[in-house]
Structure 1
Amino acid sequence: MQTTSHIMMIRPVNFSFNAETAVNNAFQVATESDDAQDKAAAEFDGFVGKLQQNGIDVTVIHDTPEPYTPDSIFPNNWVSFHDDGTVVLYPMFAVNRRAERKPQVLENIFGKFDHSQLIDWSKEEAADRFLEGTGSMVLDRENKICYACLSPRTSQELVGQFCQQFGYSAVTFFSRDQQGREIYHTNVMMCVADQYVVICLDSITDPAEREMVAEKIRQSGKKIIEISIDQMNSFAGNMLQVNNKDGKKFLVMSSQAYHSLSANQQQELESFNPIIHSDITTIETNGGGSARCMMAEVFLPLKSLS
């Protein structure tokens, strides 16, 4: 199953520009705003409301003021929840992001969903090896393909470890922006849905790697929908396909991402499924992440009512 109707989201309490992550996240822009937290919380609530109005189950967990976690709004980087009941905790590049692995978050999820095992790879931080969840890896769950652009936050060795654990094949490559800097997370340059892949192939600067990735997508039977570097910079790669309680699929993105798309691209995507978009400008600007980063998919089985 490529999509789920269950999403975990963390409502921020101390949202702000994080200098520790900005060292290798070119999407972040420090602003002079004193009310970033208030604006981010309002954007968060509006986004959650749109998902819920469309029948998507969102488990909202309120962050705690301590320890200080300015990026807690992006939980998909530190945890993933799998349909076999496995939960994985990931090693994080920024020291102040490691504190996002708060026990109360997992306790909340485990009150609603069953889990069979917890795998904790956070010890890899001591060896300076990082893998930031479904930010570092974009998963084709049905075809068991793990796409990963390598960067300081995405270790090739740990991608291999994930693939061995879950039976995926790894497709690794390098993705760069206009200045030649490595793209910090794979999920800002590509999105895998059930029948299509949205991807900025132009960011894969090595022609052999670019063709290798494109061919792998074609072999998986999915249609390639290309976006430009400028559209990637507007977070048009940071999308997530979800389904609602009735099984209807949607593609979720920010309003900035949606408006960066051409009319033809919008029409092509909507030929597969409706689009949900929401204005999260403050979150995107200060946090350097967008809609997909805010949603941790929960594939765990629901607890029985008994």
Structure 2
Amino acid sequence: MTATLDTPTSAGTAQAPAAVVLVRPHHFRPNPETVADNSFQRPSRGGDTAGPAHAEVTALAATLEAHGVRVHLVEDTGRTTPDSVFCNNWFSTHPDGTVVVYPMHAENRRGERRADVLELLARDYVVTRTLDLGAGVTPGTALEGTGAMVLDHRSRTAFVCRSRRTDPALLQRFCRELEFEPVVVDAEDDGVPVYHTNVLMSVGTDVALVGTGLLTDAGQRRRLVAALEGSGREVVDLPRDAIRNFAGNCLELEGSQRLLALSERAERALPDGVRAVVENHVRLLPVPVPTLELAGGSVRCTLGGVHLVPRNGSDRQR
């Protein structure tokens, strides 16, 4: 089955998947091993974080399903993987049937990779190959999936912020294997390198949101914007305050209509002019995830987008 790049199918479009994997945590807490390089992370100030995080993911799944997005909700009862809810960092899927599995930087994140999730994908979707970029690498060497890379599946471009979560050799291998062209930039927030590209920007079908003010090099800024505009997208610049409130951490999905999933905090941070431009292209779908955001990620980080073609008879919700 072959779909045109921007025609909705049961698999969504090339850029906007119609299905996602969500991992519902039972022992969530902000990760002490990631706070050193994640300037978006905040302390929990005591109290229960596991219960509210569980409830937030449950509500997120229900909201997405109510808007026509297929949700694969997977339970995580383990106690040693506090960031398990952010599953987009350890796997990605691609319209050609490829599933890529990635290595993680923090030691306590390496156990997030799950064979049962890969089996679920192979059962319900057409998977032609699985590429494990973590095989044989030195522990700590990382390329943290669609956190480290924001992928334009249409123009085959991988947008990347340099950080210790993105190993250059692994990035080169990903681009070689999947036939992507990298656009690598340096971005900082208060002098700290932006840890993941997907808090800086989001690329949808017709519109891209990006915090260009955090890029430290004018030439890199021009190249990134030119790449986005050259692919036919309207580029919306997000102010620094909006980025700090996770406005860049959103994902376009194909449900009953084209949706932009983001947090309520992120939606509130959008300037009116930005909101108007974005809503010309996609419906905003804000959901509350304040507990999850303590860990330095927001809605996009929880969504393992499924760009694969469904197998016959597997189009029911799970």
- For the criterion TM > 0.5, the same-fold answer is yes
The answer to whether structure 1 residue 19 and structure 2 residue 32 are counterparts is yes
Task: Map 1:65-76 to 2 at 5 A.
Answer: 65=78, 68-76=80-88
The answer to whether structure 1 residue 84 and structure 2 residue 101 are counterparts is no
The match for 1:220 is: 231
Residue 18 of structure 1 contacts residue 70 of structure 1 at CA under 8 Å; is this kept in 2?
yes
The match for 1:188 is: 199
The answer to whether structure 1 residue 59 and structure 2 residue 67 are counterparts is no
Task: Map 1:34-45 to 2 at 5 A.
Answer: 34-45=47-58
Q: 1-side partners of 2:198 and 2:221: how far apart?
A: 16
How many percent of aligned residue pairs carry the same amino acid?
A: 33
Q: 2-side partners of 1:127 and 1:263: how far apart?
A: 45
Structure 2 spans left out of the alignment, 5+ residues: 1-13
- Structure 1 position 182, deviation (Å): 0.4
The match for 2:310 is: 302
Deviations 1:233-283 (A, max 9, x none): 000000100101x5x211110000000012222121111111101010010
Q: 2-side partners of 1:127 and 1:154: how far apart?
A: 13
The match for 1:263 is: 272
The answer to whether structure 1 residue 254 and structure 2 residue 263 are counterparts is yes
The answer to whether structure 1 residue 149 and structure 2 residue 141 are counterparts is no
The match for 2:297 is: 289
Q: 1-side partners of 2:241 and 2:200: how far apart?
A: 11
- Structure 1 position 304, deviation (Å): 1.9
- Structure 1 position 107, deviation (Å): 2.4
- Structure 1 position 32, deviation (Å): 2.4
Residue 231 of structure 1 contacts residue 260 of structure 1 at CA under 8 Å; is this kept in 2?
yes
Q: 1-side partners of 2:230 and 2:311: how far apart?
A: 37
**Alignment-mate amino acid for residue 49 of structure 1:** A
Q: 1-side partners of 2:179 and 2:140: how far apart?
A: 25
Q: In 2 relative to 1, CA 107–127 (structure 1 residues): closer, same or farther, beyond 3 Å?
A: closer
Determine helix, strand or coil for the equivalent of 2:33. helix
Q: In 2 relative to 1, CA 124–215 (structure 1 residues): closer, same or farther, beyond 3 Å?
A: farther
Residue 104 of structure 2 contacts residue 140 of structure 2 at CA under 8 Å; is this kept in 1?
no
The match for 1:169 is: 181
Name the TM-score, length of structure 1 as normaliser: 0.95
- Structure 1 position 196, deviation (Å): 1.3
- Structure 1 position 127, deviation (Å): 6.0
The match for 2:250 is: 239
Q: 2-side partners of 1:72 and 1:276: how far apart?
A: 23
CA RMSD in angstroms comes to: 1.4
